[in-house]
Amino acid sequence: MVLQGFDMIIFSFGSGFNLENTDRAYLKQMATSIGYANSKGIEIGGYDLIADTRSGTGYDTIDPDTGESSGSACFASRWAEILGGRVETFMNATGLSMLETDGPYDGRPCASTEHEHHRGADDSIQKQFEKQVEFYSRLRSKNVFIHAPDDYFFAGGANKGVLGYAEMQFNLPREEWIAISRQQVYDNTWIMAPTQGWMFAALIQYHGGGPAAILEPLSEHIEAWEWTLGTFIGAGVGACYRGDRLYDTPAVQVMVQKWTSFWIKYRRILTEDIIHLRRPTVGSWDAIMHYSNIHHHPQDSVVALAMVYNPSPDTVSANLTLPLYYTGIEDAVEVAEQDGPPLRLTLNRNYEVVIQIELQPKGITHFVVTSLKNVT
């Protein structure tokens, strides 16, 4: 299976991957596999359940009310050192360069008076948080890429956090979770940069929902698969595509190649901030626009890229206003739909241009805005 422009594989839960396995034969096997992937330009990451819902470590959090385990490992106990040692041993031995953690410290108090890094329930929340930050930050100092479900990037301890989905939404029929995901991307990129959070797509069975919830077989749901890719790639948002293949027929492969080629070509502007133009619904068109200031990237004439979607069953025609004030351009630009011929447009007094859109049912398009001047 060719990865078609994707550059990272994560061995997630259910794959047989064991980040805490210190067996030499297993480490050698993983080192060989990771080395092969790296030779093809592919980074390899792995999953581990490190704290929340992780019990039985011998260092569980103790519920202050019951005196019993609350079902989570205490991160202000020796567990932090044990886990950190296992993870670093694995990475040093195999070349693993990315860590996806599930269940970082979730805020549970611990009433134990025997754990190394806190005195009791009163200081346990703060101390567990500090040890969790320390764990992530140590790995980041080694250039390990971190996916963490909580916002540890605010403490310098993660590359990405969750953009805003709920796991159970992927039990819904695929058309519904795609529609919800599109609204989540739109809503949450008001407060997060596109590359700050990740999203999720259930190519295969996740929690539940059966065949109606998943994208497999991909050839039977090629439209839904394309809308998934078009939504996330078009927004510049990284996603975890949970499955074991990207295509199952030549037609699906061509579709995936179209979107990964688009990502490679416009990656710089797609990862810039978003101006929100029209919120997604299932009844009409919606749009977002990535933009950058011409003085920030003087060697790149692309100053904006607008994504326009029509999830409805009807053809839509409308005028779309592109606000270009923040691009730093004051006079005129060229606007091209996809790879079509550019149209020269003059900005109005509000630093805007207006373009006409026409989209077929279930259509997706984009408009590239370029500067007419070279900036030195």
Which tokens sit at 26? 């297993």
Q: What pLDDT sits at residue 48? A: 95
Helix (H, G, I), strand (E, B) or coil at 196: helix
Work out the angle at residue 333's Cα, subtended by the Cα atoms of residues 327 and 338, and round it to the nearest 5 degrees: 95
Is the same domain home to 266 and 291? no
Positive or negative: CA dihedral 52, 55, 57, 62: positive
Count of domains observed in the chain: 3
Q: What pLDDT sits at residue 1? A: 46
| Helices 121-141, 79-94: inter-axial angle, 10-degree rounding | 10
User: Is residue 376 situated within a structural domain?
Assistant: no
Which tokens sit at 281? 């619904």
Query: Which of 270, 286, 316 delimits the end of a domain?
Result: 270
User: Is residue 98 situated within a structural domain?
Assistant: yes
User: Is residue 26 situated within a structural domain?
Assistant: yes
Q: What pLDDT sits at residue 164? A: 87
Is the same domain home to 73 and 182? no
Among 250, 188, 252, smallest CA distance to 220 is for: 252
Query: Which of 219, 253, 270 delimits the end of a domain?
Result: 270
pLDDT in tens, the chain (376 residues): 445 678 899 999 889 999 999 999 999 999 999 999 999 999 999 999 998 889 999 999 999 999 999 999 999 999 999 999 999 999 999 999 999 998 888 889 999 999 999 999 999 999 999 999 999 999 999 999 998 888 787 787 788 888 989 889 999 999 999 999 999 999 999 999 999 999 999 999 998 899 999 999 999 999 999 999 999 999 999 999 999 999 999 999 999 999 999 999 999 999 999 999 999 998 999 999 999 999 999 889 999 999 999 999 999 999 999 999 999 999 999 999 999 999 999 999 999 999 999 999 999 999 999 999 765 5
Which helix (H) or strand (E) segment holds residue 322: the answer is strand 316-323
For the chain, what's the residue count? 376
CATH of the domain at 141: 3.20.20.70
Query: Which of 162, 182, 205 delimits the end of a domain?
Result: 162
Neighbouring residues of 148: CB distance < 8 A, sequence distance ≥ 6? 101, 104, 136, 157, 158, 160, 161
User: Is residue 348 situated within a structural domain?
Assistant: yes
User: Is residue 94 situated within a structural domain?
Assistant: yes
Q: How many CB atoms lie within 10 A of CB 251?
A: 12
Is the same domain home to 17 and 71? yes
Is the same domain home to 137 and 46? yes
Specify the residue for token string 């061509």: 254
Which tokens sit at 163? 């953009």
Is the same domain home to 134 and 228? no
β-bridge mates for residue 304, sequence order: 291, 369
Is the same domain home to 139 and 192? no
Burial of 155 from C-beta contacts in 10 A (0-12 / 13-18 / 19+): middle
Is the same domain home to 12 and 157? yes
User: Is residue 1 situated within a structural domain?
Assistant: no
Q: What pLDDT sits at residue 102? A: 87
Which tokens sit at 34? 């990771």
What amino acid occupies position 362?
Answer: K
Helix (H, G, I), strand (E, B) or coil at 146: strand
Q: Which domain, by its residues, includes 33?
A: 8-162
Cα distance from N-terminal residue to C-terminal residue, the chain: 44
Contact 228, 215 (CB under 8 A): yes
User: Is residue 153 situated within a structural domain?
Assistant: yes
Is the same domain home to 260 and 229? yes
User: Is residue 115 situated within a structural domain?
Assistant: yes
**C-alpha distances in Å from residue 107, one per residue of 61, 71, 152, 283:** 11, 13, 13, 40
CATH of the domain at 325: 2.60.40.1180
Specify the residue for token string 């091209």: 336
CA atoms within 13 A on the CB side of 204: 9
Among 40, 41, 74, smallest CA distance to 56 is for: 74
CA separation for the pair 296, 199 (Å, rounded): 28
Among 285, 276, 288, 289, smallest CA distance to 309 is for: 285
CA separation for the pair 3, 302 (Å, rounded): 27
Is the same domain home to 15 and 144? yes
Is the same domain home to 246 and 362? no
Is the same domain home to 220 and 321? no
Is the same domain home to 215 and 296? no
Q: Cα 333 vs. chain centroid, distance in angstroms? A: 31
Which tokens sit at 28? 């050698």
